[in-house]
Structure 1
Amino acid sequence: MAAGAPRVFVSHISGVAVFDPNGDQVGRVRDVVAMLRVGKRPPRVLGLVVEVVSRRRIFLPMTRVTGVESGQVITTGVVNMRRFEQRPTETLVFGELFDRRVRMVGTDEEVTVLDVSITQLPARRDWEIDKVFVRRGKGGALRRKGETLTVEWSAVTGFSLEEHGQGAENLLATFERLRPADLANVLHHLSPKRRAEVAAALDDDRLADVLEELPEDDQIEILGKLKEERAADVLEAMDPDDAADLLSELPEEEMERLLTLMRPDEAADVRRLMSYEELSAGGLMTTEPIVLRPDATVADALARVRNPDLSPALAAQVYVCRPPDETPTGKFLGTVHFQRLLRDPPFTLVGSMTDTELRPLPPDMPLRAVTSYLATYNMVAVPVVDDSGSLLGAVTVDDVLDHLLPDDWRETELHHGAFGMDLQGGEP
């Protein structure tokens, strides 16, 4: 739902159809998953419980939802078909909040929750519960005779987490707004038991981002304490090159077991990366750059560049290829830097502005040569192309820096506090 769009009361999406971008029905909404937070802060909406054709209930993260409107939910098309299992930090809105007796702040009047509304935060992909629809009067059959009103989440009490005895939830609420690198700093300094509790309570995308910032030993420890299916989900949410690096450090039997549990397309990308030497262009690259056909427009390219999930380095340019649009692609034609995209009209075809002069890298180019290439041409990302001319991926400057710094650089920075951040998430 775009910023500024009207809020959606969750009772209105109960049972509505969920569609992928092609218009094919995925299933129907059966519940909304939220995470309560300390004090009066509105709950964060994590995702939807969707019942698919087989009557299996799966979890659809809100980061995969592109629209909630006109009696339907639209997804990105990326759906994990594993059965939904509620975690200790999660609350089901239909199952646990509706018909709940709470009290009005200030008057201490008892009211019954009939509905709640969700809204997407401006300029962010996060969703929150912002309003509560309540009925005054007694519960049960007499409930329908009372006055109804819609109030802010903060106007009622009886939902939010208490300040004590909440295990990992309290810590998660405290550090919710930290960048992944700073949250990694927090986890690194916790006891192994506490670290496992917090990791188990994080959602898959958040945990994946944090794992990418942790030293290797911490990564292996945390992954080893997750259930195998959850571990596979987290690996899928990681950048393929980071997932490949982590898996390569595991015993072969465990590595193969996790790869088997991953979605076939995700596992295929990781296996392909693991087939290259670690310190080569192929071993360093990510397999998920922005790939466009030559008949795509500048508007199409800018829409892809604006994806908040992309790192700045990956968003710096698009790669123009003949179909297929996913790596390994058809013939690689060239690149278009985002600055060029900003200078041309939205209807311009990217095929007409493609830079074909800068040669791509072969997958076997060693790290030293890749570093020199990036420095020579002042690039933050560069394509990797095989002998047949197909785009395999892109090496970004952050991938190179990871391998130029000392092996223990993450532990050194975490030991001293992540670049000046103390363990409470504030400035020193």
Structure 2
Amino acid sequence: MTMGTRVYLARLAGLPVFDPNGDRVGRIRDAVVRLRTTNRPPQIVGLVAEMALRRRIFLPIGRITTMDSEAVVLSTGTLNLRRFEKRPNELLVVEDLLDRRVTVVPDGGDGPGTQAMVVDIGMELTRANEWLVTRVAVRGHTGRLARRGHVFQAEYERIRGLFGPTETQGTSNLLALLEQMRPADMANALQDLPDARRNEVAAALSDRKLADVLEELPEHDQVEILVHLDRERAADVLERMDPDDAADLLAELPQTEQTVLLDLMEPEEAAPVRQLMSYQAGTAGSVMTSEPVILTPDTTVAEALARIREPELSPVVAAQVFVARAPAATPTGKYLGMVHFQRLLREPPASIVGGLVDSDLEPLRPEATLTEVIKQMATYDLVAMPVIDSSHRLLGAVTVDDVLDHSLPRDWRDRDNLDPGEQVRL
């Protein structure tokens, strides 16, 4: 192997995985620890990688030729694409061991031990060509300031409680790893955790981050996490979600709970959610976003480009601007038309968007069915379409991601329903 003889496993999380030809096949998410029935140190038998469609697969440690701070590279041979499942005698480093509270005993085992929290697990390659857990990086536990404690390494033999109950786990180091991921990847990682730990980690996220993650989770996981938050916190998170996603999530709750949470939300945040929930399911009104980019006709091209550059906008929302008379919040004044960002790039910065609008496209009505929406978008190669009311006021826009989300099976985000896969040669 073209790597060192000692590797710290949590540092591998998120690294890309390449085949022998240099083609990327996924990302590392965890490492598999096999427990021994004897006193020998546990063995690292492989890594867990995430492939396309959020499928997690097992990579045997013997198939890995490179494992450094930049990437993991596989050898030639057959790769089993069957979805990874832990065996009874196996644990995962990130999922099961990170943030464990342990005791570090002195050399020789005499005297009181030091309370600490696991930061990383170190493995070493033996002469028998086995990767064994030999060292544990820990942070001295100092109560509420545990994250600021001193980090040090200890031999595996000095660690007590590493394989104890999961109740001895915290969240700080796992959160640090999750914060480096995109919301979709973070949601995927949360699905792999036991329910209690998933809810604990989710509750420790910021309102903004948790809102982003909830939008990427299957509906049953969204509900499970939300109902374990106190109601005030749940309302705060709903306020940070896109109104259409918040409306979809609330629709999964009992009517009484919907009412309570909507009443706890700020009135200006709750209003668009209430409006979206009033539309019949399976219509343009029920799936549209009420917060597209809306500009008045006297806005300059320079101002329009600055607006769609805002980092919080998704690509489909930023792909076009909708032009309407004041007020610019939905429901707007009279809807005038839309301008695609490519048109904005071709025009002088001082030009007025009111003179650039495409008004030939017939807007959708909120009662239009998803089938009608899909036909319109496919016919005109659009990524978004305006939705207006009978007074020609803009109510929102249906984007292609909204259409896909509501056209796929309800459980499409749930990995348990994916095809188990097969073997491929590298």
Question: TM-score per shorter chain, which class?
Answer: 0.5 to 0.7
* Alpha-carbon distance in structure 1 between the residues aligned to 2:148 and 2:299: 48
* Alpha-carbon distance in structure 1 between the residues aligned to 2:314 and 2:386: 16
Over 3 Å counting, the alpha-carbon distance change for 1:177 and 1:273 in structure 2 is same
Q: Please state how far the C-alpha of 1:412 moved relative to its aligned partner.
A: 3.3
* Alpha-carbon distance in structure 2 between the residues aligned to 1:345 and 1:179: 35
Deviations 1:16-63 (A, max 9, x none): xxxxxxxxxxxxxxxxxxxxxx99xxxxxxxxxxxxxxxxxxxxxxxx
Q: Any conservation in 1 of the 2:330–2:396 contact (CA below 8 Å)? A: yes
Q: State how 1:246-285 maps to structure 2 within 5 Å.
A: 246-285=249-288
* Alpha-carbon distance in structure 2 between the residues aligned to 1:413 and 1:322: 48
* Alpha-carbon distance in structure 1 between the residues aligned to 2:287 and 2:260: 24
Q: State how 1:239-250 maps to structure 2 within 5 Å.
A: 239-250=242-253
AA partner of residue 181 (structure 1): A
Q: Which residue of 2 aligns with 1:296?
A: 299
Q: Please state how far the C-alpha of 1:277 moved relative to its aligned partner.
A: 1.1
SS state at 2:395 partner: strand
SS state at 2:362 partner: coil
Deviations 1:57-116 (A, max 9, x none): xxxxxxxxxxxxxxxxxxxxxxxxxxxxxxxxxxxxxxxxxxxxxxxxxxxxxxxxxxxx
Q: Any conservation in 1 of the 2:297–2:352 contact (CA below 8 Å)? A: yes
Q: Any conservation in 1 of the 2:339–2:357 contact (CA below 8 Å)? A: yes
* Alpha-carbon distance in structure 2 between the residues aligned to 1:409 and 1:333: 37
* Alpha-carbon distance in structure 1 between the residues aligned to 2:255 and 2:391: 31
Deviations 1:221-274 (A, max 9, x none): 100011111100100111100100110110111110000010101111000000
* Alpha-carbon distance in structure 2 between the residues aligned to 1:162 and 1:192: 29
SS state at 2:414 partner: helix
* Alpha-carbon distance in structure 1 between the residues aligned to 2:395 and 2:389: 7
Q: Any conservation in 1 of the 2:219–2:411 contact (CA below 8 Å)? A: no
| Equivalent residues, number | 265
Over 3 Å counting, the alpha-carbon distance change for 1:214 and 1:161 in structure 2 is farther
AA partner of residue 260 (structure 1): D
SS state at 2:360 partner: coil
Is the aligned partner of 1:363 residue 2:366? Answer: yes
* Alpha-carbon distance in structure 1 between the residues aligned to 2:289 and 2:358: 21
Over 3 Å counting, the alpha-carbon distance change for 1:235 and 1:416 in structure 2 is farther
Q: Any conservation in 2 of the 1:273–1:283 contact (CA below 8 Å)? A: yes
Over 3 Å counting, the alpha-carbon distance change for 1:167 and 1:367 in structure 2 is same
Greater radius of gyration (CA)? 2
SS state at 1:394 partner: strand
Over 3 Å counting, the alpha-carbon distance change for 1:282 and 1:199 in structure 2 is same
Q: State how 1:373-392 maps to structure 2 within 5 Å.
A: 373-392=376-395
Deviations 1:267-324 (A, max 9, x none): 1100000010121010010000011010000011011100111111100100100000
Q: Please state how far the C-alpha of 1:178 moved relative to its aligned partner.
A: 1.1
Task: Extract unaligned runs of 5+ from structure 1.
Answer: 1-37, 40-157, 420-427
* Alpha-carbon distance in structure 2 between the residues aligned to 1:286 and 1:171: 33
SS state at 1:267 partner: helix
Is the aligned partner of 1:286 residue 2:289? Answer: yes
Q: State how 1:224-235 maps to structure 2 within 5 Å.
A: 224-235=227-238
Q: Please state how far the C-alpha of 1:175 moved relative to its aligned partner.
A: 2.1
Q: State how 1:328-347 maps to structure 2 within 5 Å.
A: 328-347=331-350
Q: Which residue of 2 aligns with 1:409?
A: 412
Match of 2:226 among 199, 209, 223: 223
Kindly report the root-mean-square deviation, in angstroms, between the aligned alpha carbons of the 2 structures.
2.4
Q: Any conservation in 2 of the 1:185–1:414 contact (CA below 8 Å)? A: no
* Alpha-carbon distance in structure 1 between the residues aligned to 2:365 and 2:297: 22
Q: Please state how far the C-alpha of 1:415 moved relative to its aligned partner.
A: 6.1
* Alpha-carbon distance in structure 2 between the residues aligned to 1:169 and 1:379: 43
* Alpha-carbon distance in structure 2 between the residues aligned to 1:286 and 1:343: 27
* Alpha-carbon distance in structure 1 between the residues aligned to 2:151 and 2:381: 52
Q: Please state how far the C-alpha of 1:406 moved relative to its aligned partner.
A: 1.7
* Alpha-carbon distance in structure 1 between the residues aligned to 2:294 and 2:360: 18
* Alpha-carbon distance in structure 2 between the residues aligned to 1:338 and 1:374: 17
Q: Please state how far the C-alpha of 1:408 moved relative to its aligned partner.
A: 1.6
Q: Which residue of 2 aligns with 1:146?
A: none
Q: Which residue of 1 aligns with 2:137?
A: none
Q: Which residue of 2 aligns with 1:319?
A: 322
Q: Which residue of 1 aligns with 2:30?
A: none
AA partner of residue 411 (structure 1): D
Deviations 1:109-168 (A, max 9, x none): xxxxxxxxxxxxxxxxxxxxxxxxxxxxxxxxxxxxxxxxxxxxxxxxx94685898711
Q: Which residue of 1 aligns with 2:174?
A: 171
TM-score of the superposed pair, with normalisation by structure 2 = 0.59
AA partner of residue 402 (structure 2): D
Q: Which has the higher contact order (CA 8 A, sep 6+)?
A: 2
* Alpha-carbon distance in structure 2 between the residues aligned to 1:296 and 1:160: 53
Q: Any conservation in 2 of the 1:188–1:414 contact (CA below 8 Å)? A: no
SS state at 1:364 partner: coil
Over 3 Å counting, the alpha-carbon distance change for 1:161 and 1:403 in structure 2 is farther
* Alpha-carbon distance in structure 2 between the residues aligned to 1:390 and 1:398: 23
Task: Extract unaligned runs of 5+ from structure 2.
Answer: 1-9, 12-146, 153-161, 163-167
Over 3 Å counting, the alpha-carbon distance change for 1:238 and 1:413 in structure 2 is farther
Q: Which residue of 2 aligns with 1:206?
A: 209
AA partner of residue 196 (structure 1): N
* Alpha-carbon distance in structure 1 between the residues aligned to 2:392 and 2:327: 13
Q: State how 1:6-405 maps to structure 2 within 5 Å.
A: 159=148, 162=151, 167-405=170-408
* Alpha-carbon distance in structure 2 between the residues aligned to 1:379 and 1:161: 55
